[in-house]
A and B are shown apart, each in its own frame.
Chain A
Amino acid sequence: MLKIKNINSYYGKVHALKNVSLHLKQGEIVTLIGANGAGKTTLLNSLSAVIPTGSGELLFEGAPIMNLPPERIVRLGISQVPEGRQVFNPLSVADNLELGAYLRYRSREGKGEIAKDLDTVYALFPRLLERRKQAAGTLSGGEQQMLAIGRALMARPRLLLLDEPSMGLAPLVVQEIFRVLETLRSEKKTTILLVEQNARAALRLADRGYVLETGKVILEGSTSELLENKDVQRAYLGREKKEVWER
């Protein structure tokens, strides 16, 4: 579904992504793990064209999407849930969600479809229904995260990009959010690219994973393989901390 070959991206003079290649198959949940500054967010931002990609090849369902205008990419079926939720604080929950369908208002499908999707989001996150009239800024962190995901879903993505959905959330809330991701995959067949610092939770949910280190992919494998890998255990699962000095 998504194929990335040798992409390079820069933040000013910093070479943030070096020759990264990866792919996602229809219906897969793939996770991208790595330390701070490894290039995970950069990769998502390159995909959604929030930042320009220097070179390489980005194919979505066979068509090149590199550096298209971001709204075109959303229309093609890729939505990003940004890091730190970034909901529109003064607007109500309902308005935030409807803005997620912004590109669809002028299309021919009509408002009926959008209303239907709104119901689906409320069904996934009943809490949002309860608070639909409340300003987004007054929600808890977990609720804001749900809102951010709901807003992305309103664009009916076939590929959902999630940037650190568990950041700063209580473990129970994280569980709830991850459960929704699982439902999205099984019921809506949504393909998901998940960037996470909470590697353990991400590896439990995903089918495959890539490990990024200073802008390069150093490992690709099934999540069970990655969980067994000592580098992953040491760096991202917090095991064997005492022995880090040895290398």
Chain B
Amino acid sequence: MEQIWDQTYECMEREELEQLQLERLQATLNRAYKNVACYRNKFTGLGIVPEDVQSLSDLSKLPFTSKEDLRLNYPYGMFAVPLREVVRIHSSSGTTGKPTVVGYTKNDLKTWSNLVARFMTAAGVTHDDVVQIAFGYGLFTGAFGLHYGSETIGATVIPMSAGNTEKQIMIMQDYRTTTLVCTPTYAITLADKMEKMGIDPKSLTLKVGLFGGEPWSEAMRREIESRLCLSATDNYGLSEIIGPGVAGECPHKCGMHIFEDAFLPEIIDPETCQPLPPGSVGELVLTTLTKEAFPMIRYRTRDMTSLDYTKCTCGRTMVRMRKTMGRSDDMLIIKGVNVFPSQIEEVLVAVEGCEPHYQLVVDRVGALDVLEVRIEVTENIFFDEMKRQKAFLETVEKRIESVLGVGVTVRLVEPNSIPRQEGKASRVIDKRRI
């Protein structure tokens, strides 16, 4: 029998679960409607009151919440409790400059810790493990989520934070790390470095890898597993909902169990916004059922996936979502950081004073994501002097980096060399194999 952190909820019969979901949904709606003006106004606009939701399927009557709503209510407008009751703030990058701010009450942190403990346990982590967390600590939810989950399980946490690959490897060897937490691409960076340093992964004590923060393929999983000699598992989460802890894989690796007692998933057609039948591929929409500080009603995650309601052999009854298969918007995930082309565009407009023709080229060199910004030369930004030209490029690079939080290279290209097409797709070329 494999380990299950919270048998009562994770293995709940569907009928029982649906009753609990309905109760929690109604309570969440009552609270959100009462305390968050944004929800109240949206509901009123559609002539809806919380009492109109009498079954789980009535959820589709409710309006969606998007990242735009969070931006409009920046920073604290979507909080359902006074700030005094919030004990933690996290944030993630937003579509147009302003980040998204999310808050947690004491109970939310406890709930979060337990949800992370669930998928960590499912991946095989126990209180005997030594967990090295190589996610960046800071405003992003990743590191703290896994940190609290590990402590809740009783495992030993090494809060390494991101970067400094050689030191990561040294600590991994010396402290006998058994569990690695990072982005999948960083796992490959670690493997590359070890190869260069002549370290045999078999000489390490790694057992489990918990990789998240960006989409990755089965091919990458095989590569990581063979090169680091560990069981590589995927998990899913986003800060708007709670951070990591929305869903995670069990040892059967056949999809990530969404913790449905805490989150209500739907799949919609991103074009028509209509709910799709179970099994279809579409955009994942999530509603929180237990969050106090930051309830989210029908939040459009923009992640494309599908749901599998068939029973999993692990004994958990919770629905499984497939690995995410891209985005329904133009967001790019570069080194685990969310990047929107519009953010770059804004910087370029600010620097140049007019809308430039640009193209973003994302590639993976070794295991590292690199982002190149190609700009067509115009009168405004053409300088005779090499020195001034170079200085200009550096300024743009720095500005973009400070907005995105990731480094980029900026290159000037011939006028009219970037194909003119309708739609945003032509603005982005993603050469990575994901």
Contacts and interface: CB of A to CB of B under 8 A. Distances in A.
B82 A228 contact: no
Contacts of B34: 218
A21 interface: yes
A23 B20 contact: yes
Most chain B CB within a 10 A radius of its CB, from A19, A225, A228: A19
A246 interface: yes
Interface residues of A, number: 25
Contacts of B19: 3, 5, 21, 23
B22 A225 contact: no
B290 interface: yes
B81 interface: yes
A18 B51 contact: yes
A243 interface: yes
Contact of A19 (B26, B84, B111): B26
Contact of B27 (A5, A6, A23, A218): A218
Interface string A223-235: 0010011110000
A37 interface: no
- Helix, strand, loop or mixed for chain B's interface? helix
Most chain A CB within a 10 A radius of its CB, from B27, B81, B85, B110: B27
Interface in B25-57: 26-27, 30-31, 34, 50-51, 53-55
Contacts of B105: 229-230
Contact of A217 (B27, B54, B107, B292): B27
B24 interface: yes
Interface string B103-123: 001110011000000000000
Nearest to B106: A228
A229 B111 CA distance: 12
A228 B107 contact: yes
Contact of A230 (B26, B31, B81, B111): B81
Given A216-B30, A218-B30, A219-B31, A21 B85 contact: no
B86 to A, nearest CB: 10
A129 interface: no
B84 A243 contact: yes
25 contacts: A5-B19, A6-B54, A18-B51, A19-B54, A21-B19, A21-B26, A22-B23, A23-B19, A23-B20, A23-B23, A210-B23, A216-B51, A217-B23, A218-B30, A218-B31, A218-B34, A219-B31, A220-B27, A225-B111, A228-B106, A228-B107, A229-B292, A230-B85, A231-B81, A246-B82
Interface of A: 3, 5-6, 18-19, 21-23, 25, 210, 213, 216-221, 225, 228-231, 243, 246-247
9 closest A-B pairs (Cβ-Cβ)?
A230-B85, A19-B51, A6-B54, A21-B23, A216-B30, A218-B30, A217-B27, A228-B107, A23-B19
Given A230-B81, A231-B81, 14 more contacts: A5-B19, A19-B26, A19-B50, A19-B51, A21-B19, A21-B23, A23-B16, A213-B30, A219-B27, A219-B31, A220-B27, A221-B290, A230-B85, A247-B82
